[in-house]
Structure 1
Amino acid sequence: MRLSALSLSMLALPLLCGNAMADWYEATGQAVLRSGDTKAARTAATEDAVRKALLYSGASIRTVQQVTDGLLTQESMVLQTQGEVQHVQIVSETEEYGYINVTIRADIYPDQNQCANLQLKKELLISPFIIENREQAIAGQLYELDQASTSLFIQKLEESSGSSLIKLLPQSIRQKELSYADRSALQRNYGGRYLLKASLGDVSLGERVGNNWTFWSDPDRERFYQLQLELSDIQEQKVLLNQKYQTSAVWGFRDTTVISPKTQRFWQTDYGRSIERVLNAAAQDVEEALRCETILADITLVDQHKVLLNLGSKQGLKIGDELTILHRRQHKDSLGQLQDQLTISELKVKVTELTHQNAWAQSVNMDLLANVQVGDAATLVQEQR
C-alpha cells in the first residue's frame, strides 16, 4: 500500500534476549527516495528508526545524529557506542514504491538519572507559525510557507513524540509576553499548559550561486530559512526552549515561477528538503524539552474523601496511580502581576475511577480533604523522586 510522502512507519518493542540486563528495541524508519538519491533516503530512514527506538526506550534523543552517522559508516552495519546506546545493528533495508525502509535493532541502557515522568502526556498548544517579513515571500509566491511549516512541524512532532498531546490554536499569538489573564484564558479555553510559538525570520533570496544561468533566464540563487522557536510553560511563565534554526539551499526558479509550499513539488526541491531537516530537528528538541516536565492535574471538584481531576486516560493516567496534593495560592510579583504559587502537602490520593478526560481520586488514608480547594493541583508521586 502506498503511503504519504512524509509518513513513517514504526514498530518499537523491547525484545527478549539472553542477557537480562540488556533491553533490545527494534524500530523501522521510512523515507522518500527522491531523484534516485538512495544515500540520502537511507540516512533519513535510519535516523528516524534510531530516534524512535531511543524515544520508546526513554533514552535521550540527542545522540541520534552521532549514532546514525556512525552506523552508516560501519562496513559491518554494527555500531558500538558509549553511554546510553551500547549496540545498534541494521537488520534490513528494503525499497518499494519510491520509499526506503530501514529496520534497526538497538541495545539501549537509558541513563539512570533520566526522568521518570514519561507516563503522562502534556497538552501542548501550538500557535500557527508566522512569516515576519511577507515581502520576502514574493519570489515563488511562498505566502503559505508559514502554514505549510506549521503542518509539517506538527507531523514531525507527532511521529517522534511520546510526551505531548498537540492542539493547534486557531490564530497566531504575536505578543512576546502574555498577561496573567491571557495565560489563564488559554488554559481555560484550550486546556494546555505548554505553548509553542514560532516565526520565520528570514525566507529571503541571497546572491547568485554557480553558473547555471543564461541571458534569457534568471540565475540560481541561495534562499534562506530561519526559524525562531519558543516553548514555554505558561502556568509558571517559564521558557523551556528558545532556539533559532537556520539553513539555506539553492533556489533554482525564475522570480515569476509560482510554487506552492503545500505541494509535493515544493518539498522535493533542495530548499524544501533543507526546511524539512530543520523542522525535524526542531521537533526533536521540543520533545526533549517536554519529556521530563512535571505534569499537574487541576482539582475541579472536592467531595469529602475524593477529588475530581482534569486528567484522564487520554493523558495516560491509570487506576491505582497515586498523586500528591499541591495547594495553589496566588500572589503578586515585583511588577504587580498575579502569579501562582504551589505548596506540596502531606495529602495523597489514589485514582479509583477513570474516564477519557477526568479521574476521581480518593484519599489514601481516607482523610477528609477539607483543606483542599477547587483550583489546587495534584502530581504523580513518582514524579517527585
Structure 2
Amino acid sequence: MALICLVLLPVGQTYAVWYEAKGQAVIQKGNKQKARRDATEEALKQALLFAGASVNSVQQLTNGLLKSESITISSTGEVEQLELVDEVWHADYVTVTVRADIFARGKTCSASDYPKQFATSYFMVENRQHLLDGKLDNFEQAFTRELARQMAVQTSTLSLPFIAPYTTQWAAPTAAENARELARQGNTQFVIIGRLGDLSVHREPSSALAFWKQEDASRYFSMDITVFDGLNGGELFHRTYTTQSDWPFDRFSDLDSLSASFWHTDYGNAIKKEMGSFIADIKEVTACQPLTGRVLSTSNGNLTVSLGRDNEVMPNDELYIYRTMEVIDSRGQRYLQYNVYPGVFTVEQAYGSTSSVRHKDTGFAINVQENDFVIKK
C-alpha cells in the first residue's frame, strides 16, 4: 500500500518537485527489519512511478537510505535527494514515509515509447520434485501466464502476446536460431526464455513440547531469465532473481497455482515482486531498441511488413529496410554484416499487425526479399 503527496517548492526562478509517499508492509514472524525495508521500497517505488522515473534502482536506493540513516543521499541523477521522514509501528505492520526530490529522466531516444512485444514458452522447472509440496503440477504454465498479466498491468510499452505451450531448454550453440524461430512463431521482436530453479519448501520441525502446533515453513523461489533479440538471435539480457516467503500450507495441501487466490498468497506476492523487478529491468534494456520487423511479401514493388498499428506504425511513417549476412574472415571468425537498401520506404496502409509499404521516391523496391528486416527509428 502507498500514498502519494506532491509538494512543489520554489527555488529561485525554477521549481524543485518533491514527492512524498507512504508505504506499508506486514511484519512476518517478527522480522521488523524486513518489514521496514519492504515498506520503504514500496514508498520509493510509488514515488518514482508517479514522477515518471525508472524503478530499476529502487532496491539500491532503499538499502542506501536504511544503511546510512542520513537525511539525504545522492544517486544517479533521477533522485537528487531522498529523506526518510518517519516510520510508525503498529501491532502487525509498519508505515514508512519518504520524501524524494525526483527528476524524471527525459527521453533518451525516439524508440523509448514504441511498444515492445515478447514471445516466450513455459518456463522450465529444473526440479519437479519441488512441486510435490502443494501439488503445483501446472506451476510453469501458471507462472508464465502471470508474468504476461503483470507485464500488462505494470507497463504500457511491454507486452507478452505469445506463449508457446511447451517448455524449452536451449543449449548455447542453438540459442540464437531457436530465438529467431520463436520470434517468427509469435511475430514479436524479442524473446524471453526462463528457468525456474529452487522452489523447495524448508520446514522447521515443531517443538517436542508443542507437538500439536503446525511446523513453520518457508518456500524459496528463483528464476533465471535470458532475453534475446528475436530477429538476429543476439542475447540482450541475462539475470537471476531470488526470493523466499512464508509458506502456511502443509505438505499435503492441493493448491491451484492457476487460481487468483494462489497469486494473492504471501508466496505469490513475493514472486510478483520479482516479476516487477524483471519487467523494470527489461524495460530499461529494450527502451532504445529500434522498432524492427520483417518483410513478409513482395509484389510489384509493394511490400507487406510485420509492423502495423499494434506497433504504433501509421500511414506516412518512414521505414528503412536492410538485409543481414554472415561473413567469415581469414581467421575463421564469423561476423554479421548489415546491408541497408538505399532510400526511405513509406507506409501506405497500416493494419493491425502488418503494413503495406512502398519506396518513397521510386515506388519500387528493387531486390528487397522476404525476411529482410524493416526498421522504424
With structure 2 as the length reference, what TM-score do the two structures score? 0.71
The SS at the match of 1:347 is: coil
Q: Compute the displacement of 1:305 (Å).
A: 5.7
364-373 or 129-138, which deviates more: 364-373
Give the letter aligned to residue 129 of structure 1. F
Q: Aligned partners of 1:281 and 1:154: how far apart in 2? A: 14
Gaps of 5+ in 1: 1-5, 11-16, 90-99
Distance change in 2, residues 1:240/1:309 (3 Å):
same
Does the 8 Å contact 1:25/1:107 carry over to 2? yes
Give the letter aligned to residue 141 of structure 1. K
Q: Aligned partners of 1:34 and 1:352: how far apart in 2? A: 59
Q: Compute the displacement of 1:170 (Å).
A: 3.4
Mapping of residues 338-349 of structure 1, within 5 Å: 341-349=337-345
- Of residues 340, 350, 359, the one that matches 1:363 is 359
Q: Aligned partners of 1:352 and 1:30: how far apart in 2? A: 50
What is aligned with 1:110?
105
Distance change in 2, residues 1:262/1:190 (3 Å):
closer
Gaps of 5+ in 2: 5-9, 84-94
Matched, 1:226 2:222: yes
Distance change in 2, residues 1:66/1:186 (3 Å):
closer
The SS at the match of 1:171 is: strand
Q: Aligned partners of 1:19 and 1:371: how far apart in 2? A: 61
What is aligned with 1:164?
158
Q: Aligned partners of 2:205 and 2:275: how far apart in 1? A: 25
C-alpha RMSD of matched pairs (Å): 4.8
What is aligned with 2:121?
127
The SS at the match of 1:127 is: strand
Q: Aligned partners of 1:213 and 1:294: how far apart in 2? A: 65
Q: Aligned partners of 1:25 and 1:332: how far apart in 2? A: 56
Q: Compute the displacement of 1:301 (Å).
A: 3.5
Q: Aligned partners of 1:79 and 1:130: how far apart in 2? A: 41
Give the letter aligned to residue 108 of structure 1. F
Q: Aligned partners of 2:270 and 2:130: how far apart in 1? A: 18
Distance change in 2, residues 1:208/1:217 (3 Å):
same
Give the letter aligned to residue 49 of structure 1. Q
Q: Compute the displacement of 1:315 (Å).
A: 0.6
Distance change in 2, residues 1:284/1:300 (3 Å):
same
- Of residues 190, 197, 200, the one that matches 2:193 is 197
Mapping of residues 147-296 of structure 1, within 5 Å: 147-177=141-171, 178=174, 182-183=178-179, 185-206=181-202, 208=204, 214-263=210-259, 266-296=262-292
Distance change in 2, residues 1:319/1:70 (3 Å):
farther
Q: Aligned partners of 1:140 and 1:299: how far apart in 2? A: 48
Q: Percent identity among equivalent residues?
A: 19
What is aligned with 1:97?
none
Does the 8 Å contact 2:228/2:235 carry over to 1? yes
Distance change in 2, residues 1:307/1:108 (3 Å):
farther
Give the letter aligned to residue 176 of structure 1. W
- Of residues 349, 356, 361, the one that matches 1:353 is 349
The SS at the match of 2:110 is: coil
Does the 8 Å contact 1:149/1:279 carry over to 2? no
Mapping of residues 294-313 of structure 1, within 5 Å: 294-302=290-298, 306-313=302-309
The SS at the match of 2:111 is: coil
